[in-house]
A and B are shown apart, each in its own frame.
Chain A
């Protein structure tokens, strides 16, 4: 009995006293480089040779090989299963390839990349003065007023994935207790925002980063209250897609007509790159400002809650910011850059089963990759390393 007690004590205290700050220092988010001559796609991207914008075609072949070499067939769903890759430099398209029946004009599920576009909707709502980042959610959305603890959840906490709600993001790994599965397919599917707002809290809002689709769908439900149903129905189409020249797009909703901002936006690879280009240009499109000043820095800063999040091994996999990812690392917390061979200013929108869109300001690059990877065979860092090495000047 004594031994068992000692074992429990050791297990419980294992993480205590772990050195979490071996690197020291603050997170450093470099300002976006000044862009002198953006090439706006009106409505389509200009296609040029890689060499004309300082990229080696020979080196791009290695990127092609990495992304499109299949290591398993469709029956076993193994290996790297790339559906599309689109690369842009200096606002011009230099590489584009599709596989597995996808084409230039076919939309692809983006899964959690949708979260980053929901964040764009928030940028617009903030710029329009309809919402403030530090507004408690319950100001706009009644289900968050269930008790004093829930009332502390702000819009910023939700965007930083730090609501503190007891969500379980496990997908295939633990379907029984996964709140994301219950939200999308069973108990929550009629009204995902309300299902999520009713989860109990496990930590003080703002103190722990826990990646959760629930946080996104509460944000989506809040927007419906802020804009009213009619305007909300048109919101992404009128305020984002139309100005960016995106007409071939689908955004699915739950049983109550709320956009499933966590998972169900479908775009073409070329059009997703336009979202990246909007952020590369600091929220400006065709000379007009769409996102508030400072929104890009907010987008690229790791969630402050990382500083107080309990240590776990997978904490370093990606640095979550405000519904996007950054390659800064969180030095104060001992978290390395997730993609060490990519430029440090790389930031990204990432989704389940290999959906990804990278923005690399220092190299003026946008990279979109769609796939259907059912195992971890596509290594983001290896892919980004090859892309970086293809830039010759």
Chain B
């Protein structure tokens, strides 16, 4: 019985490994989505649409919670950390709004 379970578990693990390798392109960039989405959409909500801080958190919030957040009113930027990745969006001007800075 024990042997059967370990064979099944190894099989599942192998399939998972293959799947991960097959989808590596998507998987490797996935963790960055949380912080880049939050920082970009918060930046635009606050500096472009000029809504309140509370409303902008509600606007940018996702299912996965973030771990760090910094709204820099002086430098017109928003930095967010989530799933171990950090991203910053910066307000450029009234015409061009916010852009994510390069990773």
Q: Could you list which residues of chain A lie within 8 angstroms of chain B, going by C-beta atoms?
A: 74-75, 77, 100-101, 106-109, 175-177, 181-182, 184-187, 189-190, 237, 249-255, 264, 266, 372
A190 and B102 form a contact (CB under 8 A): yes
> Residue B76 at the A interface, CB < 8 A?
no
With A101-B55, A189-B36, A251-B96 as contacts: A175 and B48 at CB distance below 8 Å: no
Other A-B pairs, 9, CB within 8 Å; known A101-B55, A109-B45, A177-B23: A74-B58, A106-B49, A108-B49, A176-B27, A182-B29, A187-B25, A189-B100, A250-B96, A266-B97
Q: Is the CB of A176 within 8 A of B26?
A: yes
Which residues of chain A are within 8 angstroms of B26 by Cβ–Cβ distance?
176-177, 182
Interface of A is mostly: loop
Does B97 lie within 8 Å of A250, measured CB to CB? yes
Q: Is the CB of B97 within 8 A of A106?
A: no
Interface centre among A106, A176, A186, by most chain B C-beta atoms within 10 angstroms, is A186
- B69 contacts partner chain A, Cβ-Cβ < 8 Å: no
B29 touches A74 (CB 8 A): no
What residue in chain B is nearest A75 (Cβ atoms)? B58
- A203 and B32 CA atoms in complex are apart in Å by 31
Contact for A250 among B32, B59, B95, CB less than 8 A: B95
Q: B46-73: contact bitstring with A at CB < 8 Å (1 yes, 0 no)?
A: 0011111001001100000000000000
In the complex, what distance in Å separates the CA atom of A108 from the CA atom of B30?
28
Does A253 lie within 8 Å of B96, measured CB to CB?
yes
Cβ A266 vs Cβ B44 within 8 A: yes
Asked if A266 and B48 make an inter-chain contact with CB atoms under 8 angstroms apart, the answer reads: yes
In angstroms, Cα B101 to Cα A254, docked, is 10
Contacts of B95 in A (CB 8 A): 237, 249-251
Q: Could you tell me the distance between the alpha carbons of A108 and B95 in the complex, rounded to whole angstroms? A: 14
Question: Do B50 and A106 have beta carbons less than 8 Å apart?
Answer: yes
